[in-house]
Copies of this chain bind each other. A is one copy, B any other.
Amino acid sequence: MQTLHNGKLTRSVSLEDRGWSLGEALFETLLVQQGNPVWLEEHLARLARGCERLQFDFPERALRDDIHQLLSESRDDRAVLRLCLSGDSLGVRGYGAVSRTPHRYCQLAALAPPVRQYWDEGIRAFVAKTRLPEQVELAGIKHSNRLPHVLARAERKARDFPEGLMLSASGLVVEGIASNCFIAVNGELKTPLLDRAGVEGIVRQKVIEVLRTQGVTISEARLTLSDIEAADELFFCNSLIGLWPARQLDCLSFSSFSLCQRVQKELESVWYV
């Protein structure tokens, strides 16, 4: 793995980093195929929205330079690019920010191909007991306060359950531990509204675009476990894995993968070159 900190190769994180001390950070995880970061503009746009919320200046030009530098030196066919922007304490204690200029970290690492079996045959998922906090101010953006996700992932082994479904404190379905989720009901697509919790995923948006183009009715809605139980299919998506249909959610079984497969067909080349 190679890491650039503010444009320079580094093997460590600054002690002044408020991402480390206070969780004041944003990040993006991009798939890199044949040297190209997939959906870079969309990822940068989400990062920019996060910067507005956290009152960071958005170092767009510098980030693009960093990415160019890392990718031009890489020989991996398939890699993962992680961009992180974190607050700078400038040596001052406490919660109050003294700088709007975030630390810039760009990391590039080799990445194994996604598990084709999960894509084709679906996965077993579970309903996580750990709930996601509801917080309007932080909903949608990809910040680094990920302890609920870490606790949820610790509930079950990823070997047996590659993904888990997370509910919010008030019991609404939000997302997978590391993905967004969709259900299909009577040929219509539904996905959780992310105004109180969750990350507005890039692949989530692509799924919506693909199926909308095909004339599928799509809605963002407040979904509960009852909606999942009544659904014909359930699937998860993120930038690195692509799309995973669920064949089981705890005791619940799904036999239809139909809408998920329609998206897989359109986007297969993103993950399987």
A: residues with CB less than 8 A from B are 1, 3, 10-15, 17-25, 27, 54-55, 80, 84, 86-87, 91, 93-97, 107, 109, 130-131, 133-138, 143-154, 158, 169, 177-178
Query: When A145-B147, A147-B23 are in contact, do A95 and B178 touch as well, CB less than 8 Å?
Result: yes
Min distance, Cβ A102 to any Cβ of chain B, angstroms: 13
Min distance, Cβ A47 to any Cβ of chain B, angstroms: 15
Min distance, Cβ A57 to any Cβ of chain B, angstroms: 14
Q: Is the CB of A178 within 8 A of B94?
A: yes
Min distance, Cβ A180 to any Cβ of chain B, angstroms: 15
Query: Once the chains are docked, how many angstroms separate the CA of A97 from the CA of B157?
Result: 10
20 more contacts with CB within 8 A, not counting A11-B15, A13-B14, A24-B150, are A1-B91, A13-B15, A13-B20, A21-B27, A21-B84, A22-B147, A22-B149, A23-B23, A23-B145, A23-B146, A24-B146, A94-B153, A94-B158, A95-B146, A95-B150, A95-B152, A95-B178, A96-B158, A97-B153, A138-B151
Query: Once the chains are docked, how many angstroms separate the CA of A146 from the CA of B25?
Result: 10
Within the complex, which residue of B3, B18, B109, B138 is in contact with A93, where a contact is CB–CB below 8 Å?
B109
Q: Is the CB of A23 within 8 A of B144?
A: yes
Query: When A15-B12, A145-B147, A148-B138 are in contact, do A153 and B20 touch as well, CB less than 8 Å?
Result: no
Q: Is the CB of B15 within 8 A of A97?
A: no
Min distance, Cβ A129 to any Cβ of chain B, angstroms: 8
Query: Once the chains are docked, how many angstroms separate the CA of A137 from the CA of B102?
Result: 30
Query: When A12-B12, A20-B20 are in contact, do A169 and B97 touch as well, CB less than 8 Å?
Result: no
List residues of chain B with CB within 8 A of the CB of A80: 93
Min distance, Cβ A198 to any Cβ of chain B, angstroms: 13
Query: When A95-B146, A96-B158 are in contact, do A134 and B12 touch as well, CB less than 8 Å?
Result: no
Min distance, Cβ A219 to any Cβ of chain B, angstroms: 25
